[in-house]
Structure 1
Amino acid sequence: MKFALALLALVATASAYEIPNFGRGELRHDIQDFLDLVPVEKVIEITIQYYVEDKEFQDMVKYFESEGFKQLVKDVEALPEIKILMDYIHNAGIDIYKIVNKINSALKLPPLTPPSYSIGTYITGGIKGFIQDILDVLPRQQFKDLYEEKLKTSKAFADFIAQLKSENFQHIVNKLYVHPKFQELLTHARNAGVDLVKLKDLFEVLWGIKVPAY
């Protein structure tokens, strides 16, 4: 119920999300350009309808509130590679710790400490349907075009993508993949009919992230 009320509050105040930042650095502007393409109100409307009408989606929400999922989040956040990545984003001017700590707060997990230095819609149904319904309202070609443009025109964005393609980030992916709780999450996704191979291919093509075979 608290989750549903939170979603309703989001709809009431829906506006383009603005990345918390330290007022410097170009990376925030690059990421913000992508977020500005997201039709926030439509995404929230679809999400609420799934929460109200779709049992599979409701079960997913329950899983996200479970102790098992909380432990997965804690274990991932404890990875040294995650610390390296978050500090990189932090130093690039984005207050990533504020974003992550909002998630931790919702999960009733302790906050992470940043570095001491500052630098009425039809729904398809099911988790697979939820993913597809969200994808259907996203301007995918605009995302692709903006991605290619940013790679050419923004060193900050290009450096960020290089981080995602780095050995450090690949270590994060590999460690996360073999985590028992993550395997449990993959099982939930497979049982829900989510095309994990498509997601794997998308990560590799777009971000250069090599996900082990499912």
Structure 2
Amino acid sequence: MMKQALVVLALVGLAFSAPQARKLFHEHVEDFLDVIMEEAGHEIEHLMEHYVEYDEFWQALEYMRTNNFKDLVYEMESLPEFVAVVEFLEKDQIDIHFFIDLLNDMIENVDRKRNARHSTSGRDLSSFVRDCINEFPKDKLSALFDQKMADDEEFRTAIENLQTEEWAAVFDALWESEVFQAEVKTLAENGIDVGVFLDEIIAVFGQNKK
């Protein structure tokens, strides 16, 4: 469940050709998550135990369990600009729905338990994500990223495609959509900061700034 919580956080995710069977992109993501859980899983679990004490944290999780949130996601998925993003990612076998399903599983499996409090940077979901990022083993994640970029042609191609002007244009078109911006605003009003989730995706790959 904690591995799923890390991915959320992933609404957009980021292939290992070698002689063995080819990896799908989400399997590469799981390699990074395994490193995170091995090095920082205990601390992240400890953070979760304390954030479940906060009403502000639960505001976001409880909203994501409502039909209003599900309807917003369906509306978002129907946007032509969102469809273009999905189609671009699918060219490199990046399945965004895999990550959305992980998010849904995480939401359903968080229990509201009371624990003794300790210091956290805030009380809401965004603070939880930032605190988790601070626990990530950035050097090891960055080293794994560099290894995959050097050794895996398909992974490298997928990442390079996400650095092209074509991708920038597709993503900017979604971000600049009035409907999408209204959806982002609705999410923010319910404690869900899309920008923070995008920051986490970058951090999972060890590419966040120190």
Short-chain TM bin: 0.5 to 0.7
Deviation string 1:49-108 (CA, Å, 9 cap, x unpaired) is 312x11110111122223443233223333322441453354xxx776555445567889
* CA distance in structure 2 between the partners assigned to 1:68 and 1:75 by the alignment: 10
CA 1:57–1:162: 2 relative to 1, 3 Å: same
Q: Given the superposition, is the C-alpha separation of residues 199 and 77 from structure 1 closer, same or farther in structure 2, using an over 3 Å criterion?
A: same
| Structure 1 equivalent of residue 159 of structure 2 | 161
Pair 88,47 (structure 1): closer, same or farther in 2 beyond 3 Å: farther
Residue of structure 2 in register with 1:25 after alignment: 22
Give 1:104-119 correspondences, 5 Å limit.
Answer: none
Q: Does 1:171 align with 2:167?
A: no
Instruction: Give the structure, 1 or 2, with the largest relative contact order (CA under 8 Å, sep 6 or more).
Output: 2
| 2:129 aligned partner | 131
Q: Does 1:61 align with 2:61?
A: yes
Mapped contact 1:46–1:121 kept (Cα < 8 A): no
TM-score of the pair, normalised by structure 1: 0.57
Q: Do structure 1's residue 47 and structure 2's residue 48 form an aligned pair?
A: yes
Counterpart in the other structure of 2:35: 37
Q: CA 1:76–1:186 in structure 2 vs 1: closer, same or farther (change >3 Å)?
A: same
Structure 1: segments with no counterpart, 5+ residues: 1-9, 109-119, 208-214
Q: Select the residue among 72, 90, 96 that pairs with 1:87.
A: 90
TM-score (norm 2): 0.58
**For the residues of structure 2 that align with 1:187 and 1:36, how far apart are their CA atoms?**
32
Gaps of 5+ in 2: 8-14, 109-115
CA spacing shift, 1:107–1:50, aligned 2, 3 Å: closer
Count of residues in correspondence between the two structures: 170
